[in-house]
Structure formats: C-alpha cells, structure tokens
Structure 1
Amino acid sequence: MDTNDSTGTTAPVIDIRDVSRRYGQGPPALDGVRLTVRRGEAVAVLGPSGSGKSTLLNLIAGLDRPDSGSVTVAGVRVDTLGEAASAKYRRAGIGMVFQFFNLLDDLTVADNVLLPAQLAGIPRAEARRRAAELLDRLGIGRHAEAHPGRLSGGERQRVAVARALMNRPALLLADEPTGALDSAAGQDVRDLLTALNADGQTVLLVTHDPVLAESCTTRTIELVDGRIVRDTVAVPR
C-alpha cells in the first residue's frame, strides 16, 4: 500500500479525523477524536475501562464504523469499506495481536503463522519461507511443528506476533498483549515489541498498563470518556 501523499512526503500510517461513535442512547464511546500516527512510531493508547480504547481499536481494524469523521490507515479510507473490502484490508494492511493469542490449537505453530498468507493467496512456497524466517527471527523456529497448547504463554504470544507480521502489514495492532502472561513472559513480549519497533514496524498498543506503555512505546495517548486528554512523546533514554 502506498503511504506517500501527492506531494511526495510521507503520509501518516493512521489518520483519524473528528471521529465520534455512540452506541444506543448512552454517552459517546468516542467524541471528536483526532489522531495521527506516523510510520515507525510505537504508540500506546491508555485509559480506564469504558474510555473508548476498544472502540478506537475496532475502528482502526475496520471492525466497526464511526458515526461521523474519517479513519484512514495506510492510505485506505477504512470507514468507507464494505464487508469484503474490510476483510481484505485486515489481511493486507494490518496485523493484530490479542490478549488470549487466538491461535488454533489443532494446527501446528507453522500452520497458524501461515494462515494469513493462505487467505491472501500468497504462493505456498513463498509463504513457508516467510513463516520460517519469522519464527526464527522471533526465537521459536524450533517449535514450528509443535501445537500451541504445548508452548508457554510467552511463546504462544510470539507465535501470534509472527502470524500478525506474516503479510508484512503497515501497522501492528496489539490489544493487551501481556494481559494473560506472567511477569517474565510479559517482559519477553515487551522486549519483542520494542525490537520490532526499532526495526521500523509501526505499532499501536491498547492497554490499561502504564508500565507496558512506558517500556515499549515512543508516545502515549490517554483516553478519558471518549476524548484524548493527553498526548505525550517519550523522552529518549
């Protein structure tokens, strides 16, 4: 996907303009949100339960639509996509990592990682090379033929990250990626996200954990009652 605008400058990976979303008669889940994320940034979205974090993630992922405003990701107007185009966008444009891994236990590690490539129609030989490269890069190549249920939580989250990166997405979305892990495995995933961002991967991390946000992102957004109340760039260490 082209992330260059008509002037030749680098366009944002995420460009959210005046987005609002309300469910039923309650207060808005998001209220006039504006957010820009540039290529190579690692951004954490923090906020208490009900602040709008999940709604924001779902809009960026094309799983929901705003009532007003626009959502553009890697040059794609996500809020205007139909169901089929939205599914194609998720396969090609973004990778998603979840709190509880969402791996298929009846498939091997390698086959879990291959799934996005198969759905995208990538030739099998090419996909297998890419999967092996990712598993080796993430330190779990020796588990390629194992089933996820035999791995530790940290190893399963590494498999989930490999799957999310399979189609070389412009954006990696992570939803509470350490929430189901013990402290040691959580640190392992934090180190992994930091390394991926250092290699140039754009990351948007949704969490309630300020330690996770501080340790592996370069910028923190705080949501309260559907509005951004703080946008802080980390001081280089």
Structure 2
Amino acid sequence: MVRLDRIGKRYGRGPWVLRDVSLSVEPGEAVVVTGGNGSGKSTLLRIAAGLSRPSVGAVSRPRSVGWLPERFPSGVRLSARDYLRHQAAVRGVPARWDLVEALGFVGDPDAPMATLSKGNTQKIALVQALTARDLLVLDEPWSGLDVAAASTLRSFLASTPASVLVTDHHGHDLPGARVLPLGAAATGVVIELARVGELLPEVSALEGVLSAAAVGTGARVEVAAAHSDRVLAAVLELGCSVRSVRS
C-alpha cells in the first residue's frame, strides 16, 4: 500500500501546491485524483511514486512502483521491445508483450521508440508501468488511447492486486475506485479519530469518505461536507472515538 500523511509541497518560498493532504491506498484498491489545472494532481502523484519529496509530511510506499508520467520522454532510442525488456529486467519481472498486444499496439516493435505514434508510445509507456507488482502511479493513463485500448486498461486496473493511484481529466469510469478531489473541489470536513486500528478499511469504505489515513492507532478522515453527519454516526457505531471535527 501507499500512505501519504499530511503532506504539503511548495517550491522555495512560493505558494503551496499541496497542503495537508492525507491518503492511503490499499492493495487491490484504486483512487482517482481529480481537480483543475494547478490543483496539484501531478505533484501528488510524483510524491507518491517517490520522484519528488514533500516539503512537509510523511510518505510510505512499497518497493515495486510503476510510474507513468503525463508526457513520456521523447527521443528514446531503444526499440519498443528492447525498452520493455530493459524495464522488466530492472524490476526482475518478465516482459509483458501480451499486454502490449492486448492494448492494440500497431507498428514495428523493433523500431526506435522515438518513431512511434503518440498512441503506440502511450501503450508501451503504460505496459512498462503496469509490470510493477505493488503500486501503479499513472498520470493521465488514458491520454492518446483509442476506445478499445481504454477499455482494456480499465479492465486491467479494476482487477490488478496492486494499489492504483491515477489522475484523469476526462471522466473515465474505473469500477470501485474512490475519488480524491484536489483544489476547489476538495472542500469537505476533516475528522480526527481515535481507536481505529483494524477498522480503517471499513471507515475508508463509508459513503462520502474522500480519504482515510492511519495516524498511530487513530485516523485522519476527509469527508464530503454533505456526508459528514452520516459518517460521524457510522464511525461511532463502529466503535471509534472522535477527537476533532473541522471544516
């Protein structure tokens, strides 16, 4: 699983890009991060993947992490096949050309990556990330994909045992996924709980819960404002105690 505990990010003395964000994603669970331009979605994913450090807060992540940037680097000289072989060897896993075929790759697999179309490049970039065992961090993974490939990706993400954290501008449906809104859409209520322990998955699954992260034996839970009373009643019924509630 990946856990972000009250992270914040700013560059130098500039404004905060992210502030007081907590999130945990369990194995087999998917979270879709939404928000407008400048809301910090890509920054959050880079921190989760280990490519950037938060200015404040703590992050824990598993060993095997797959990262898909919003824009794949241009000028890669390796062929698509050799690139996937290299990435798989680094992770110590088999290369998954079957996934490439399932996504509908069309073209010469032995041609340099730099010569591929945007759609085919995205498919190769996706597959190198999807071979990770524990955590998939995908920034706009549907970008450049045709309808069939998008459907294949959705099915894969819905069934993988890895934790999944994605951003999406276009409203693709990911069955069973939680949504974490950032920026103006993230308004809600923060509930600090005690005596949570093993009840965290049940708390996370309550309707209206945007994110839930363990803090010691308690938890910090962000709830959509419209659901706050219902969630408070539910966590008390589960046996948790409420330390504080703030908007």
Structure 2 length normalisation: TM-score? 0.64
Tell whether the 8 Å contact from 1:43 to 1:219 is kept in structure 2 after alignment.
yes
Amino acid at match of 2:33: V
- The percent of aligned pairs where both chains have the same amino acid is 30
What is the Cα deviation at residue 156 of structure 1? 2.2
Q: How does 1:1-237 map to 2 (within 5 A)?
A: 13-74=1-62, 89=63, 93-102=64-73, 105-120=76-91, 122=92, 127=94, 130-140=95-105, 143-149=108-114, 151-166=116-131, 168-179=132-143, 181=144, 185-200=145-160, 201-207=162-168, 209-212=169-172, 214=173, 218-224=177-183, 228-229=186-187, 231=210
Instruction: Return the alpha-carbon distance in structure 1 between the equivalents of residues 14 and 76 of structure 2.
Output: 39
What is the Cα deviation at residue 224 of structure 1? 0.9
Q: Residue by residue, what CA displacement relative to the aligned partner does 1:13-32 show, whole Å, maximum 9, x if unpaired?
A: 12111112222333322211
Instruction: Return the alpha-carbon distance in structure 2 between the equivalents of residues 39 and 116 of structure 1.
Output: 22
Amino acid at match of 2:78: L
Cα 1:96–1:70 change in 2 (3 A) is: same
What is the Cα deviation at residue 195 of structure 1? 1.3
- Which residue number in structure 2 is paired with residue 7 of structure 1? none
More displaced 10-residue stretch of structure 1: 185-194 or 16-25: 185-194
Structure 2 spans left out of the alignment, 5+ residues: 189-209, 212-247
Cα 1:117–1:210 change in 2 (3 A) is: closer
- Which residue number in structure 2 is paired with residue 85 of structure 1? none
What is the Cα deviation at residue 137 of structure 1? 4.3
- Higher-Rg structure is 2
Count of equivalent residues? 190
Instruction: Return the alpha-carbon distance in structure 1 between the equivalents of residues 140 and 101 of structure 2.
Output: 24
Tell whether the 8 Å contact from 1:46 to 1:222 is kept in structure 2 after alignment.
yes
Amino acid at match of 1:61: A
Query: Alignment partner of 2:78: what SS?
Result: coil
Instruction: Return the alpha-carbon distance in structure 2 between the equivalents of residues 158 and 147 of structure 1.
Output: 14
Query: Alignment partner of 1:174: what SS?
Result: strand
The structure with the greater share of residues assigned to strand is 2
What is the Cα deviation at residue 150 of structure 1? 5.2
Tell whether the 8 Å contact from 1:105 to 1:147 is kept in structure 2 after alignment.
yes
Instruction: Return the alpha-carbon distance in structure 1 between the equivalents of residues 13 and 72 of structure 2.
Output: 33
- Which residue number in structure 1 is paired with residue 233 of structure 2? none
What is the Cα deviation at residue 117 of structure 1? 2.9
Query: Alignment partner of 1:119: what SS?
Result: helix
Tell whether the 8 Å contact from 1:41 to 1:202 is kept in structure 2 after alignment.
yes
Comparing both chains, which one has the higher relative contact order based on Cα–Cα distances under 8 Å and sequence gaps of 6 or more? Answer: 1
